Structure 1
């Protein structure tokens, strides 16, 4: 009598072919990347402290400006947006957009796009997202779309909230430009919507630069700060007259083109050039970010 040998459960033979198959292997072999739901990434974006702090600062800005203006002598008039800010809700909203389009909104756009990939790496969750499996292109696309949506929401929210705060503080007078040309509310609202759209499109280049830097390193602060630093250096170079027409190709050269939407005759040339250069920088940097991220070794 031969001694019985202990056996461990193994792969079951296939009834149809007689070949041995492993169920776990069948499930993993050839499986397609799991799509990452947009609402999941959007929920993660909204729930982050830096997003809450960013939008909190955005909402606080008009209130802070009203408080700052109250410390002055109360006079108004002059040839600048800041001199006309207290003449009514419309002027106050335009001034808030003027004061934030070159700095605060740039920082928020860089924060939304530059922090998203490095933060996953710093939390050591990027590898697990890709092992899930989630395709790299799909993962980066979800983060890019959420960054774009967050930036557009911030750009629209600021003037809308400033209109309300300015109306409560200074009344609902229509817009009057520094050149002395007035616009009724019926004329202003579509032009203000155009100006906000130009600002949002202009921030696409910031998003692209921040996303690219975010794929090159695992430091969230480095990605955000790097994108902001690029815009600062470009602004400094833009002041050098010796560069001539080369300055037109610098990032954020047309950052104030949205003001042309509020002039008596809309300056379509500057608006179109602003849109064109921003999209060129955005497409090139975003394409480079995809190219690098799909070939990058994910170690964290």
Structure 2
């Protein structure tokens, strides 16, 4: 008899045989292994911890928290006048902590805030494809709709946290450096500190809703391409182009249909007589764009040939 050099313990072999038989009998009529529940796969807590451990998440959140300090240094180096009572939002930035928060949101609203949302949503599926791990994730199996939903929810949580972190840190920094004074609008109106806190909270809520279109579009690009940078960069590029087109007055009322036309409507909250019309239009427009892009992403992902 040929000796292969492998000696099998008869007891161990019997145990493996019994285990295989048990596994065979525990397979249900639908072909699923007994105990398998699609709802238990890719849990939010697991995906959230996984994303928080990524360097890009840590770097982005760190930069968002650092930005208010950079702005303070810029004003300390420059020629800021804390007692100024008129001018634009930049001129009034050092008048009080609420005004400093408004400045932080204003200067980051054109590029940084859309980029944050685009990064979390555009990288979510495309990164799995680029790592060649998406097909293994689906083979667990995790249903495709659940993969997309869970990753989108985690991306939304991280985006909302980052968008809220900026004004929160800016408020703390502003109170320390400039005091908890009244918010002053460019028209000279003053809003009490307590009322301005509510206005800032509503501003963050509006910004989160308004950037829903970026989230949906970045998610669509993420399922279309296997290149994370392409998905993120594409969403940011479209946001920038939309902002450029919004500056062309020759387009007249056509600009109202651009997804970025109402990006800064939250500034209407810094007033004693708030006009809600622009914010309502901006929220509705963004929700419609975001919903359409998300549905397209779900349909594309459901039929996509996963090869990586």
Equivalent residue in structure 1 for 2:292, among 284, 289, 293: 284
Q: Deviations over 1:10-54 (max 9, x none)?
A: x99xxxxxxx99817936814563532000111111111111111
User: 1:170-189 counterparts in 2 under 5 A?
Assistant: 170-189=178-197
User: 1:83-102 counterparts in 2 under 5 A?
Assistant: 83-102=91-110
Inter-partner Cα distance in structure 1 for 2:243 and 2:185: 25
Who is 1:296 aligned against?
Answer: 304
Q: In the alignment, is residue 81 of structure 1 matched against residue 126 of structure 2?
A: no
SS in 1 for 2:87: coil
User: 1:139-158 counterparts in 2 under 5 A?
Assistant: 139-158=147-166
Contact 1:195 / 1:262 at 8 angstroms: preserved in 2? no
Who is 1:134 aligned against?
Answer: 142
Distance change (3 Å), C-alpha of 1:24 and 1:237: farther
SS in 2 for 1:251: coil
Q: Which moved more, 1:224-233 or 1:263-272?
A: 263-272
Inter-partner Cα distance in structure 1 for 2:306 and 2:185: 52
Q: Deviations over 1:120-166 (max 9, x none)?
A: 11111111110000001001001111111111111111111101111
Inter-partner Cα distance in structure 1 for 2:178 and 2:204: 22
Q: Which moved more, 1:161-170 or 1:29-38?
A: 29-38
Who is 2:241 aligned against?
Answer: 233
Inter-partner Cα distance in structure 2 for 1:22 and 1:85: 67
Inter-partner Cα distance in structure 1 for 2:253 and 2:272: 26
Q: Deviations over 1:109-129 (max 9, x none)?
A: 000100011111111111111
Q: Deviations over 1:37-88 (max 9, x none)?
A: 0001111111111111111110110000001111112324341111111112
Deviation at 1:210, TM superposition (A): 0.4
Inter-partner Cα distance in structure 1 for 2:25 and 2:77: 71
User: 1:217-296 counterparts in 2 under 5 A?
Assistant: 217-296=225-304
Inter-partner Cα distance in structure 2 for 1:36 and 1:21: 26
Unaligned runs of 5+ in 2: 1-12
Equivalent residue in structure 2 for 1:210, among 218, 223, 226: 218
Who is 2:27 aligned against?
Answer: 26
Distance change (3 Å), C-alpha of 1:291 and 1:173: same
Deviation at 1:264, TM superposition (A): 2.1
Q: Which moved more, 1:282-291 or 1:180-189?
A: 180-189
TM-score for the superposition, normalised by structure 1: 0.90
SS in 2 for 1:90: helix
Contact 1:213 / 1:223 at 8 angstroms: preserved in 2? yes
Inter-partner Cα distance in structure 2 for 1:175 and 1:240: 31
Inter-partner Cα distance in structure 2 for 1:245 and 1:83: 30
SS in 2 for 1:133: coil
Who is 1:17 aligned against?
Answer: none
TM-score for the superposition, normalised by structure 2: 0.87
Give 4+ residue runs of structure 1 displaced > 3 Å after superposition.
30-34
Inter-partner Cα distance in structure 2 for 1:105 and 1:235: 13
Unaligned runs of 5+ in 1: 1-7, 13-19
Who is 1:44 aligned against?
Answer: 50
Contact 2:48 / 2:154 at 8 angstroms: preserved in 1? yes
Who is 1:35 aligned against?
Answer: 41
Q: What value does the CA root-mean-square deviation take over the aligned residues?
A: 2.2
